[in-house]
Amino acid sequence: MSKPVYEIGAAVRVRDGVCDLDYNNLPLGGWEGRVCEILEDEEEALLYCVEWNAATLKRLRKDLPDYFVDAFREELDPFRFNFHAEDIEAGTHAAEDPETPLLQREVEEEFYWSSQGDIGVQVAAVLKTFQIENYEDENAYNAAWFRYLEQNLVFPFNATVYSDELFESKIPDLATVEVVGLVPEIDSNFGILASVNFEGQTQPIPISDLETPEPEDAESEIHYGPLEIYTFWLQNIYEPDFYGDEEEELEEA
């Protein structure tokens, strides 16, 4: 590998005239960030992975929100971009920016779910009502979803178990159970648990393992909607640290 022109952590700016050829020739000139990784392309030329800084993210959020929606929909990373040395120059903003991680999470909350179809839009609407200040606070999300389900489900009701068998339970898959309430303690691996009656015994089970029939009337919608929204959120959390150790790697935008 040849000697890098820019070191990791360097503040850089995209030169005027540089465009994103994969995004309708979107002009990138003036976008700023810091070098977070140095790679090689297929011809072994150096590539500089630039993570956008807070100033650039704020501008995009205000003037080009579809950039984030489209990137998330295509499973691309909207926060970083790879450049050759001739496409960038020394930046004017400080390389280290403590505001950037928070803005990234806010953008995820605002645009990721909206890119996931109608159910994602519903998730986004619910998350907006939570008004969580610390986007890294797992307990705050769990508590907010617990309140949401407690307020929007009417107990008892019947549901079908669709289990992945990771949660230890004596209830067989496809069994019909009576859901009588929520378990106050949140499970660190499976999220919110429901208390269900099955064959005369009451036991906990992840509420995300329960389904009700698609609604045919207003009464069935009461249960189907909240369960679907919470389960979709739990199964598609963009922040991987919440419920798992494996992070799905996104391609660079």
pLDDT in tens, 201-212: 999 999 999 998
pLDDT at 221: 64
Segments forming the whole domain that contains residue 162: 117-235
Among candidate residues 111, 137, 170, the one where a domain is terminated: 111
Residues 66-89 have a mean pLDDT of 93
pLDDT at 151: 94
Are both 67 and 25 inside the same structural domain? yes
> Which tokens sit at 171?
């209830």
Are both 105 and 121 inside the same structural domain? no
Number of domains in the chain: 2
Whether the predicted pLDDT of 41 surpasses 50? yes
Flag whether 128 is in a domain: yes
> Beta-strand (E) ranges in 76-154?
76-77, 80-83, 88-90
pTM as predicted: 0.69
Are both 88 and 177 inside the same structural domain? no
> Which tokens sit at 174?
């496809």
Are both 165 and 202 inside the same structural domain? yes
What are phi and psi for residue 46, nearest 5 degrees? -70, 140
Are both 122 and 231 inside the same structural domain? yes
pLDDT at 1: 61
> Beta-strand (E) ranges in 45-186?
46-52, 76-77, 80-83, 88-90, 157-161, 176-182
Among candidate residues 66, 93, 111, the one where a domain is terminated: 111
Contact 96, 103 (CB under 8 A): no
Among candidate residues 67, 94, 111, the one where a domain is terminated: 111
Q: In the structure, what pLDDT confidence band is assigned to residue 36 with cuts at 50, 70 and 90?
A: very high
> Which tokens sit at 112?
């990721």
Quickly tell me which residue has 């392309």 as its tokens: 41
> Exposure of 111 by Cβ count < 10 A (0-12 exposed, 13-18 middle, 19+ buried)?
buried
Buried residues in 22-51 as b, exposed as e (16+ CB within 10 A):
ebeeeebeebbbbbeeeeeeeeeebbbbbb
pLDDT in tens, 165-176: 678 888 888 899
Flag whether 250 is in a domain: no
Angle at 173 between CA 216 and CA 147, to 5 degrees: 60
pLDDT at 241: 35
